[in-house]
Amino acid sequence: MGEQETKPRIVITGIGVVSSLGTGVEDFWDSLVEGKSGIANISRFDASDYTCKVASEVVDFNASDWMDVKEAKRNDRYTHFAMAAAKLALQEGKIDPSTFEPTRFGVLIGSGIGGIETTQNQGRILTERGPRRVSPFMIPSLIANIAGGIVAIELGARGPNFAVVSACATGTHAIGESLRIMQNGEADVMLAGGSEAAITELGVAGFCSMKAMSTRYNDDPTRSSRPFDADRDGFVMGEGAGVLVLETLDHAKARGAKIHCELIGYSASCDAFHITSPDVDSKGLAQCITNAISDAGIEAEDIDYINAHGTSTPYNDKFETNAVKKVFGNHAYNLKMSSTKSMTGHLLGAAGAVEAAACCKVLESGTIPPTINYETPDPECDLDYVTNASIKQDVDVVMSNNSGFGGQNASLVFSKLK
C-alpha cells in the first residue's frame, strides 16, 4: 500500500464563527445566503480624520460570555474572538472536549496581526504615564500565538499547538497545517483557524496610509466591498474569528459524530515577487491551486465552486482571476466563484478560516452565496461569479483560496464525504 493510501482521512465535525454577520455559524450562514452586508461606518473610534471610514465590526459581543472575567481583561480582543469561535465550534458539533485524549488533541489558531489593540493602548500608557505603568500582561496579550495557548489551557488540549502568521493567508494555512499534522499521525482532533481584531486607530491608519482600503463609499458603507466589480477601489477591514474542528474519520465515526464534509487537499506557495502586490503573472497562486488539486487526488474539472480571496482591490481580483484561468483553462468558465468578503469585509488573518466555514456550508446545503455589490462588469474579471443573490446548486468539491502580504498563498479543497 502506498504512502498516500495510508494517510488518515480528515473530516470537519464542528464549525465556529464570530463575525459582523453573526456569532455562530447558522446566523453567519443565513446572512451570507441572504446577501446581507455587515459593513457600516466605524464605531469603535472616531474615524473622522481617516480616509476610510467604514469597517465590518463585530457588535454586541461580550468576552465575559466566553471567558472568565479576569482572564478576559488580561487578553486582547483577538483572543476573545478566538475563544468564542473555538467554543462555538465545539458546541455546534455537540463535542465534549473532556472526552478526548489530551495528548492527541491540538490547537492551531493563527492571527495575521495579533494583539494590535493591546500594542496601541500600552504604547499610549508608556507615553503618557511612563514605563512602570505598562501592563505585565502586555507581551502575552499581544503575541500572535497566545490565542491558541489560551484556548488549549481552557480546554486541556495538550497536543500540537503553535500559531501560523502569514497575513491574510493565515487562517487557511492554519487549517492546512493542521491537516498535515493529523495526516502525519500526531493528533486525532485539532481546533484550527484564525482570529483578528485590527479595527483600531493604529490598524486602520496603517492600512489607510498604504492606500489599500476603500475610500469611495464612506457615505454608503454597504456598497464599499465589491469584488470583481469595475468600480472596486480597495478592501474593507473586518474582524472576528473562524475555527473548525478537524477530526480523523476513524475517530469521528467511533464517537458517532456529525460530519460536515471532508478536507481532502491543501497547498502553500510564495509569489517571491513583492511585499504587498500580488505577482502580476499569477504564477504563485496558480502553482498553489494546482498543487492543492494534486494533493486532493482529483482533476481540476472536479472543482464545482471556488470561494475566492476576492478582496475588492484592483490588483487582487484581476490577478486571482488570471490564476484561475491558468489552472482551469476552459473549466474556469464552468465552475462557480464568489467572494464572501463583499459581505464580511476582509478579516485579514481570520479570513481564510471564516471562508472555509462558508465552504463547508456550501457542500452541506447546496447553496452558493453571492458576491454582492456587483454592478459594473470588469473585462479583466470575466469568470462565472455568482453575483448579488445566492443560487441553489448541488456541489461535490469546493476550493478556498487566500493570499497575504509577503506573497504567501494557501489553498484548501473540501468535498462531500463519500
Other Cβ atoms less than 10 A from the Cβ of 301: the count is 14
Q: String of b and e for 98-122 (b: at least 16 CB within 10 Å)? A: eebeeebbbbbbbbbbbbbbbbbbb
Catalytic residue list contains 274: no
Other Cβ atoms less than 10 A from the Cβ of 414: the count is 27
**The one catalytic residue among 80, 251, 260, 346:** 346
C-alpha angle with apex 361: 346 to 107, nearest 5 degrees? Answer: 70
Cβ atoms 151, 157 nearer than 8 A: yes
Residue 62, C-beta contacts closer than 8 angstroms, at least 6 positions apart: none
Task: Give the separation between CA 163 and CA 349, rounded to whole angstroms.
Answer: 11
Other Cβ atoms less than 10 A from the Cβ of 96: the count is 9
Task: Give the separation between CA 186 and CA 181, rounded to whole angstroms.
Answer: 6
**The one catalytic residue among 309, 359, 360, 381:** 309
Catalytic residue list contains 168: yes
**The one catalytic residue among 52, 168, 359, 360:** 168
> Which among 304, 290, 411 is positioned nearest to 363, based on CA atoms?
304
Known catalytic residues are 168, 309, 346
